Structure 1
Amino acid sequence: MIPLVDIRPWRTGSSTDSTATAREVDDALRTSGFMMLTGHGVSASLGDDIRSAARRFFALPHETKARYAAPVYGRGWVGQGRETNSFYGESTDNTPTDLKESYTIGRPLRTGNQDIDREWFAENIWPAEVPELQPLCERYAADMHALYLDLLRICAAALNLPTDWFVTRSLASPHTFNINRYPPLTATGTPAPGQYRIAPHTDWGILTLLDRQPGYGGLEVQMADDTWVPAPYLDGALTINIGDLLARWTGDRWRSTRHRVLPPQDEAPDEDLVSLIMFCETDVDTVVTPIPGVGHAKYPPVRSADYLLERGSAATVA
């Protein structure tokens, strides 16, 4: 299943405690690719405040939200029908689009390289109708980025690498912060065959940090035997999983696991959920190739930016 990991011993304990935490993370990412994380220090009330502000934005008329429209992987509002996250290589022109809408925010960083900054660190767009959203999201994203760097240190220790091994390759990395709204059945109507709030997929990058709400139409994870199980929920815990690039880096020692968000269910026709998701990456010019002696799989080198852009294009509905 999905293990529960408390990282407080890493932050406050002895070297023995830190080693034990790193071992727990390694076990979780080898067997599941997912973990439930406690001791992370990110305020739950801050997430609640973001959800409240985001709901005010999502409740605006379509024509108002359209002023902030953005492409997948852009900055701003991605309306329902713009994205399909079917497993890479399996989607077709007939694949139903995902039953969600999103507000997308990026990392406010300037690297000094104009091409990189234009592509990966574009200015965020903030809705004038909900001014409180910007300071809430900026604080939350900063806290989650600090957590990401700590998780990278734990991941390095879990692989017997220097603790700054991943961090030094991710100091100028982008991230994508999605506020995903999953509308209720009363708004979407009956889903098409094979349609989901988010279709079965793997994530693309390094680590995904998810603050989610439980529900009938919630997160499911595919196990090693190909069965699908509901992801456990623990109030205050974050759901963490790795993406394709980290799986490649570790030669598949760690699993980039397929997961999905179920469509709205008849049992809860008014269920309206909001998830806060941080997709964390390495530097865009980092060439990812399997670390010697870590895993078993052989992958050709791939530049992080090239892989992410290819996946983003595949998920976009024209």
Structure 2
Amino acid sequence: MAVAQTTGGVLSVPVIDIGPFRSGGEVERDAVAAAVDGAARTVGFMQVVGHGIADRTIDAFVAAMDDFFGQDTGFKAGYRCPPGVNRGYTPPRSEALANSLGLVSAADLFEAFNVGAQARDFPGLDLPPADYPDNVWPQLRGYRDAVTDWFAEAGGVARTMTRIFGRALGLGEDYFTPVTDHSVDVLRTINYRPPPAGTRLEPEQLGMGAHTDYGIVTVLWADPVPGLQILGGDGGWHPVTPAPGALLVNLGDGLARWTNDLWISTMHRVVPPRLDGQLVRRRSAAFFHDGNVDAVISPLPTCVGPDRPARYEPVTVGEHVRAKLAGSRGGALTEGAEREVARLRGGTPG
């Protein structure tokens, strides 16, 4: 896999206005696609504005997050699901994202709550409940409505991005529709809270360990608080703070495989957030658009040639995501992540 490029020791995440793609003509759409292609080839992250999500939707969603994470431990624990079910509440120190790279690491400090696409959302397709499990909903006034609204809005941005991807790759805006029309989508709301006074942190313990995302594209809302870091080609970790009104968008391993590593699934992590040297709270919400469980990921025709042979064997989205989740949530070290590990350790196998 490729790595994010730095210039003079600086890693720059471009701000891209996708409004002209949503409402413009061919010239405007080509310009947005070219900007996304440039970011995808060099950084794998971008800051997206012009996404069209109303402030009131964001405000209601963030208030719902605060309401849930502000509840006592017993209340939240009542919505915990088994590790094999990617839904419900995750307490602090119960996951280790670096395990998804096949690496042993200290448990991460974040707490989270997951909802996602359910089998019942796609009647007639007979989708496997293990990959499309039912959601569990906290009994909090307004929570379900606010989170459902955000799920729909973030999903709309993700689908717009896949249309841009198709255009940027010379395959047409509808190219990814057949592999995303019953996508394994998950919304993970995340809370990084300062640990209680006197808590001993393990060596190199992180808010969220180093990892790449698993699917096609991630749409991230985050507080403008330090913590998120991207691994650059210089081997250093570079901080990224969201621009006002922007959503962070990054590519996942699935899209890197589809593009035969022309586009980058960027390694990132979250260090314990600090302001003026003090640990502070940080909130984020990641919408993962992973693709259909039965879709086959194999290098795209425009990304393979005599000078660039296919680097990956075909794998289904379901097989790929299950292996990654078994690492991060189930504690089983993921096999076959040699390229990701090499980037983390400073090398890049071909």
Give TM-score, length-normalised by structure 1: 0.93
Residue by residue over 1:52-93, the C-alpha shift from the partner in whole angstroms, topping out at 9 and shown as x without a partner, is 22222222222221111024552211111211111643422x
Residue by residue over 1:278-308, the C-alpha shift from the partner in whole angstroms, topping out at 9 and shown as x without a partner, is 0111111001000123153510001110010
Q: CA deviation at 1:170?
A: 0.5
Q: Which residue of 2 aligns with 1:24?
A: 35
**What letter corresponds to residue 260 of structure 2 in structure 1?**
G
SS of 2:292 mapped into structure 1: coil
Q: CA deviation at 1:110?
A: 2.4
Quick one: distance in 2 between partners of 1:111 and 1:314?
30
Matches within 5 A, 1:113-262: 113-114=125-126, 116-128=127-139, 130-186=140-196, 189-216=199-226, 218-262=227-271
SS of 1:17 mapped into structure 2: helix
Quick one: distance in 2 between partners of 1:8 and 1:51?
24
Matches within 5 A, 1:275-294: 275-294=284-303
Unaligned runs of 5+ in 1: none
CA contact under 8 A between 2:114 and 2:187: conserved in structure 1?
A: yes
Q: CA deviation at 1:190?
A: 4.5
Quick one: distance in 2 between partners of 1:231 and 1:21?
22
Distance 1:51 1:207, change over 3 A: same
Tell me how large the CA RMSD over aligned residues is. Answer: 1.9
Q: CA deviation at 1:48?
A: 2.6
CA contact under 8 A between 1:184 and 1:269: conserved in structure 2?
A: no
SS of 2:299 mapped into structure 1: coil
Residue by residue over 1:171-223, the C-alpha shift from the partner in whole angstroms, topping out at 9 and shown as x without a partner, is 0112110110001144683432111111111001110000001223x111111
Q: Which residue of 2 aligns with 1:85?
A: 97
**What letter corresponds to residue 110 of structure 1 in structure 2?**
F
Distance 1:147 1:7, change over 3 A: same
Quick one: distance in 2 between partners of 1:313 and 1:305?
12
Percent pairwise identity: 31
CA contact under 8 A between 2:51 and 2:157: conserved in structure 1?
A: yes
Q: Which residue of 2 aligns with 1:76?
A: 88
Unaligned runs of 5+ in 2: 1-11, 332-350
Quick one: distance in 1 between partners of 2:78 and 2:302?
50
SS of 2:291 mapped into structure 1: coil
**What letter corresponds to residue 6 of structure 1 in structure 2?**
D
Residue by residue over 1:140-188, the C-alpha shift from the partner in whole angstroms, topping out at 9 and shown as x without a partner, is 1111112211111110000110210012210011211011000114468
CA contact under 8 A between 1:85 and 1:200: conserved in structure 2?
A: yes
Quick one: distance in 2 between partners of 1:264 and 1:137?
24
Distance 1:245 1:12, change over 3 A: same
Quick one: distance in 2 between partners of 1:289 and 1:187?
49
Distance 1:209 1:284, change over 3 A: same
CA contact under 8 A between 2:225 and 2:241: conserved in structure 1?
A: no
**What letter corresponds to residue 265 of structure 1 in structure 2?**
R
CA contact under 8 A between 2:225 and 2:273: conserved in structure 1?
A: no
Quick one: distance in 2 between partners of 1:301 and 1:51?
39
SS of 1:104 mapped into structure 2: strand
SS of 2:89 mapped into structure 1: strand
Which region of structure 1 is more displaced relative to structure 2, 252-261 or 138-147?
138-147
Q: Which residue of 2 aligns with 1:309?
A: 322
SS of 1:293 mapped into structure 2: helix
Which region of structure 1 is more displaced relative to structure 2, 33-42 or 138-147?
138-147
Q: CA deviation at 1:125?
A: 0.9
Quick one: distance in 1 between partners of 2:13 and 2:311?
26
SS of 1:245 mapped into structure 2: helix
Quick one: distance in 1 between partners of 2:173 and 2:181?
14
CA contact under 8 A between 2:273 and 2:282: conserved in structure 1?
A: no
Q: CA deviation at 1:33?
A: 0.4
Q: Which residue of 2 aligns with 1:34?
A: 45
**What letter corresponds to residue 59 of structure 2 in structure 1?**
D
